[in-house]
Amino acid sequence: MSEETPFYSCEIPVRWGDMDAYGHVNNTLYFRYFEEARFQWMLEKGLPLKSDTHPVVVTIGCTFMRPIFHPETLRIDVFLSEPGRSSFMVKYKVYTLSQPDTPAAEGYSKVVWVSSVDGKSVPLPDVVRAWFPAE
């Protein structure tokens, strides 16, 4: 999968309540934006919300490149990489529609597929494995 071509992309409006006392989007909200993008893409790709297995984020991080202010709409580009037996990496690029060519933030998360019964890792479902080109 090309780093230049997103696996998924969505737009998320910045809410007034996303702002902090300094007048820009609070750093913790970026993780909520990442979560929303993950949720939207998994729904679009047909993953069920209730299943005997599900994804869990085990590592997450973000680099902030410029502040975001209200009112604004974000574009979150999602890239998938490093598929393993039960996990893969997700990279996020956050843009504003007012500055669509300059990232405001970049983030990542490691997603592990786990059993709903015991919480232990399980092999990626075939539908998820299909998101990655054959090696």
Tokens read off for 24: 């820009």
Residue 22 included in any domain: yes
State the Cα–Cα distance between residues 67 and 114, nearest whole angstrom: 35
Return the pLDDT at 1.
42
Work out the average pLDDT over 5-16.
96
Residue 74 included in any domain: yes
Residue 1 included in any domain: no
pLDDT at 77 exceeding the cut of 80: yes
State the Cα–Cα distance between residues 76 and 8, nearest whole angstrom: 8
Give the model confidence (pLDDT) of 34-61 as tens digits.
Answer: 999 999 999 999 888 788 999 999 999 9
Residue 3 included in any domain: no
Full residue range of the structural domain in which residue 17 is found: 8-126
Residue 39 included in any domain: yes
Residue 131 included in any domain: no
Residue 64 included in any domain: yes
Residue 53's beta-bridge partner residues?
115
Total domains in the chain come to 1
Residue 91 included in any domain: yes
Within 10 angstroms of residue 104's Cβ, the number of other Cβ atoms is 19
The CATH number for 59's domain is 3.10.129.10
Helix (H) or strand (E) run with residue 81 in it: strand 73-81
